[in-house]
Structure 1
Amino acid sequence: MPPVRPPLLHPPDLLARIGKCLSFGCDEVQTRRAAGLVRRLAHDGATLRAAQLGALTGNGQGIVHRARIELPKSTEGSSQPGNGSSTCVSLGVTSSRQLLSGIAERLFEQKTGRPPTAEEKAVIRRGSSHLSTEDWTVTMLEPVKPRDVLSIYPWIRIQPGNNEKGRQLVLLHAWVWSHVAMTPVAEMRCALPEKLPEGYLEILHELAGEPDPRGAAEVAAAVKALEKETWDRDDAVEDMGGA
């Protein structure tokens, strides 16, 4: 049987559980631990969840950094779901262009033994733009609200070739994270072009890393431990704020 995958980190649920611990009363040490968990979920919740999926979160895997935008306030009569979907597609296109131009910069450095200059990077980006795709399938999970702040977290899946030429299908998956709701608002996927320049596929293989659930598991275990010390015990009494 395949191993059971742990549930994906969901910061709102964990924050509610931490709040319940505080409502039953925490000592000074427990309060500091709770505050630290809240800070970590607020700062790292998205990347911890992304790592569970093997997403390319930037510092750890080198090429793709999250693209973050702030949505403007909606105008009267605007269609918010449509705006949200088009915003997600725009993020996806930006991400795929960033991915492929980043790979091209790495190939340049491998061949020349030096990083590209600013002028050379501009040429590389223009040359890679035709490889990116706007053919994204978008599934909206939550409405995108005005003044939301969004990031995209992409990850790569490479499927073995099953056509006549044995070409491998390179799939770019992503979800769009709301920093306000602290949850994904959309899931996305697209197939990269079959005819990638020489060397691209090798680097894509390097980037298509395995999921790393350790950080999320560490946070979940810390919340569970706090629960065991506060409300999840026989003599627990909730602090209702009485005198």
Structure 2
Amino acid sequence: MPPRLRLASRLLASRDRSLTSTTSTRTIPTNPSPLTRSFSSQPNPPNACTEPITPDLPPPPSPRWLSDLQARIGKCIMFGCSPAQVVEAGQIVRALTTEWRTLIAGSEGFLTGGRRGLEGQQVVWGEMDSFQHVNNVTYIRYAESSRVNWATHFAVNADPAHAREWAELMTPKSTGLIMKSIKADFKFPMTYPDKISVYHKLRYPPSAAPSPSSLILDAVVISHRHRRVSARIEEDVVVYDYRAGKKTALLPFMHTVLDETFATQEREKARARRRIAELSGLVTGLEKNTWDRPDAEEDMGGGSPAPAAPAAPAGSSG
């Protein structure tokens, strides 16, 4: 295989990482360059997502933005790149490999890390049914586990002063959460082996919710193998007072935390969309310096051209 094709294969093969490998946490430098910046799946630092919510929210990216960027980079490499361009392409691929999950989730406002959902869950063989794909009911169980982590996350990381109350939301002791309805929209059939990450978000801030006693939650099930959303889930959860035997309004401490959570979702949505646009711009620049430049000629990998024949002496005949 020519060296250029081997290089393209190595760069594009980064998306086929082993499903059993673990992702290491990387320290983000103080002023990272656009190519080397990465976002860890660990809990966000205190100063994360501190930009104000602005009305000029970037538009949502294409559902296939990740595979499109990878294909565009591959085209540049197959066309022929200088050594510096190969390094640049490799840095973009590395950024996509590191950030893909936080960008897919974040571009829709889903918050990752810190047990905010169900991350890196192994799909087991027994979860497939007779049609050889993960059974539809299993997605509901995935969402249930993610929802429990989402709610109990507030007790540990967001509002430790009310840790007991947050933890009891998932029990019938006092005020708890009851599922009123759940709807799943399946995008493609997942199979074993795979890993998934599941995240929840508030569709509305508490002040704008359709009912003072309800939480409308959206969830996504993301396939690590395909690096795509495999299912979308909509949940209507009711706040229920088990002691009184009836539904009740959100408690005051819940309002405060959930309002801030919704604001953080919006900031993360803007950040992730800008980052995707930034990476897309870097790929566009790579294209304009390779196959899309005015004088572009594809490197066919044939080696150096043969030397031209010497010109005939002046005045010589045929």
TM over 0.5: yes
Q: Which digits, 9 at most, give the CA deviation of each residue in 1:138-185, with x for residues without a partner? A: 11111102101111132211162556xxx2642211211111111111
Secondary structure at 2:169's aligned position in 1? helix
1:46 matches 2:95: no
Change (3 A) 1:20 1:74: farther
Matched with 1:155 is: 201
AA aligned to 2:71 is: A
**Alpha-carbon deviation of 1:4?**
7.1
- Between stretches 26-35 and 8-17, larger displacement belongs to 8-17
The runs of 5 or more residues in structure 2 that have no matched partner are 1-55, 172-176, 240-247, 304-318
Query: CA offset at residue 19 of structure 1?
Result: 0.2
Equivalent residue, structure 2, for 1:101: 152
1:110 equivalent among 135, 158, 161: 161
The residue that corresponds to 2:122 in the other structure is 70
Instruction: Determine the structure 1 residue equivalent to 2:169.
Output: 128
Q: Which residue of 225, 229, 236 corresponds with 2:285? A: 225
Q: Is 1:79 aligned to residue 134 of structure 2?
A: no
Residue matched to 2:46? none
CA gap 1:33/1:157 in 2 versus in 1, 3 angstroms: same
Aligned pairs, number: 225
Structure-to-structure mapping, 1:173-188, within 5 angstroms: 173-188=218-233
Aligned to 1:91: 142
d(CA) in 2 for partners of 1:101 and 1:4?
Answer: 31
> Partner letter of residue 203 of structure 1?
V
In 2, Cα distance between equivalents of 1:132 and 1:238:
61
Among 76, 83, 90, the residue aligned to 1:21: 76
Q: CA deviation at 1:88?
A: 2.0
Do the aligned partners of 1:89 and 1:134 also contact (CA within 8 Å) in 2? Answer: no
RMSD (CA atoms): 2.9
Name which of 200, 207, 229 aligns with 2:254: 200
Paired with 1:45 and 1:162, the residues of 2 have a C-alpha distance of: 33
Are 1:5 and 2:59 an aligned pair? Answer: yes
Match of 2:236 in 1: 191
Please report how far the alpha carbon of residue 101 of structure 1 lies from its aligned counterpart in structure 2 after TM superposition. 1.4
Structure number with larger C-alpha Rg: 2
Bigger relative contact order (CA 8 A; separation at least 6): 1
Following the alignment from structure 1 to structure 2, what is the Cα–Cα distance between the partners of residues 76 and 124? 34
Alpha-carbon distance in 2 for matches of 1:98, 1:41: 27
State the distance in 1 between where 2:73 and 2:186 align.
Answer: 28
- The answer (yes or no) to whether the contact 1:93–1:132 under 8 Å persists in 2 is no
Q: Which secondary structure does the structure 2 equivalent of 1:192 belong to?
A: strand
TM-score (normalised: structure 2): 0.62
Summarize the Cα distance change of 1:88–1:145 in structure 2 as closer, same or farther, 3 Å threshold: same
Query: Retained in 2: the 8 A contact 1:71–1:148?
Result: yes
SS of 1:191's equivalent in the other structure is strand
Identical residues among aligned pairs (%): 29
Alpha-carbon distance in structure 2 between the residues aligned to 1:75 and 1:193: 29
Match of 1:239 in 2: 299
Supply the distance in 2 between the matched residues of 1:75 and 1:104 (Cα, whole angstroms): 31
- Aligned residue for 2:306? none
Report SS of the residue matched to 2:203.
strand
Aligned twin of 2:217: 172
